[in-house]
Amino acid sequence: MARKLPDLGEKVVAEIEAEWAKPHETWARRRLLVVRLIAQHELTVEQIMGVAEVSRQTVFTYRDTLVAGGVAALLRRKKAPGRQPTVRGAVAQEFVARLEAGKFRQARDAQAWIKKRTRRQLTESGVRQLLRRVGGKLKVPRKSHAKKDPAKAQAFKAELPARLTAVVGAAPTPPIRVWVLDEHRYGLLPVIRRVWGRRGVRVHAPYATRYQWGYLHEALEVDGANACELLLTPAIDQDIHAIFLRQIAESDPTALHVVIADQAGFHLPVGDVRIPANLRLLPLPPYSPELNPVERFGGLLKAAVSNRLYRNLRKLEDHLIAAARPWSTPAAVAGLIHGWLADKVNIGAPA
């Protein structure tokens, strides 16, 4: 015997109409449409199924829910609890920390760690999905010297404003310009970098073993004019480094220049008599190249001359100068400077 659609009563019908006039999500709107059509007693069950695009059982389920609990029960959506993720809570935090530290060489390493930590086995594809979900990406790690002290790098960031004040001194000073400095070696031995290629087809890059070298000295101004100073030299030592420091100092003789650089053996030590009078040195902590944004500048230039052979150093140097030109503009230099560095320099600048 077919089930009949009963009269819902004036009170329930009024509640339906009141809710119908309000904005609702699609699923709630469909439920209200079904019971509204039932209340109007103008369509059969089959017609309601066609209008609302629901099954016969759904029509009666919505009706029974409305009769038992009213409109509030009809619009209450039950959510399935779902399966708890394997990696969650403290384990998830530890997983992300290990990911940031580069502890997983491949997905299998992460899979083994999860099994050891949770005693549950995830598939390798599931582990890859998890890695991507938390921001993981397969990348080549940067070399880090075994003697590096991460605490000193963090201390340098925190103490930079105070160190700048100490270098500049408390007495009134001329305009202060802060620079970061580094050098990169270039040569006729080609730099090989990744390129796009077609799957299954091996890509080749020209190569020849020729040992001729030169050095590109680079200095980027942290703030203000965001200037760039470059110098090409056939060799590098303290005397040549002194020439580049003099070039920076003479770029604005009226200013006091503070140069942040690493403690390489061919850099002048603090207090050396060859340091220009209007220039001060602020050493970086040992083995911390990531603190120096000039590293990014050098990487961009290496990418521009990679996978190419040059007949002589002059041809290579011409290409390096052309590649450096768009990255030497104030806007480009400002984009290369680390945000934390610009902020700390501004904090340490005298009022």
Residue 21 lies in a domain: yes
Q: Provide mean pLDDT across the span 269-289.
A: 94
120 and 229 assigned to the same domain: no
As a dihedral over the C-alpha atoms of residue 296, residue 301, residue 303, residue 304, rounded to 10 degrees, the angle is: 150
94 and 218 assigned to the same domain: no
Token output for 234: 């056939």
223 and 275 assigned to the same domain: yes
45 and 93 assigned to the same domain: no
Q: Find the range with the poorest average confidence among 161-175, 215-229, 267-281.
A: 161-175
pLDDT tens-digit readout, 95-133 = 999 999 899 999 999 999 999 999 999 999 999 999 999
Query: Is residue 213 scored above 90 in pLDDT?
Result: yes
> Is pTM, for the whole model, over 0.75?
no
240 and 299 assigned to the same domain: yes
Looking at residue 6, its pLDDT comes to 64
111 and 189 assigned to the same domain: no
The domain that holds 156 is classified in CATH as 3.30.420.10
Residue 83 lies in a domain: no
69 and 94 assigned to the same domain: no
168 and 209 assigned to the same domain: yes
Closest CA to 19 of 67, 76, 75, 79: 75
For residues 178 and 289, what is the distance between their CA atoms, to the nearest angstrom? Answer: 18
* pLDDT band at residue 170 under the 50/70/90 scheme: low
Q: Is 27 exposed, middle or buried (0-12, 13-18, 19+ CB in 10 A)?
A: exposed
125 and 195 assigned to the same domain: no
Looking at residue 52, its pLDDT comes to 86
Average pLDDT for the chain: 89
**Which domain does 181 fall in, by range?**
152-348
Q: How many Cα atoms sit within 13 Å of 219 on the Cβ side? A: 25
* pLDDT band at residue 1 under the 50/70/90 scheme: very low
Q: Provide mean pLDDT across the span 228-252.
A: 97
Q: Provide mean pLDDT across the span 160-168.
A: 91
Residue 138 lies in a domain: no
313 and 205 assigned to the same domain: yes
Residues whose CB is less than 8 angstroms from the CB of residue 227 and which lie 6 or more positions away in sequence, other chains included: 177, 220, 221, 251, 330, 333
For residues 301 and 308, what is the distance between their CA atoms, to the nearest angstrom? Answer: 13
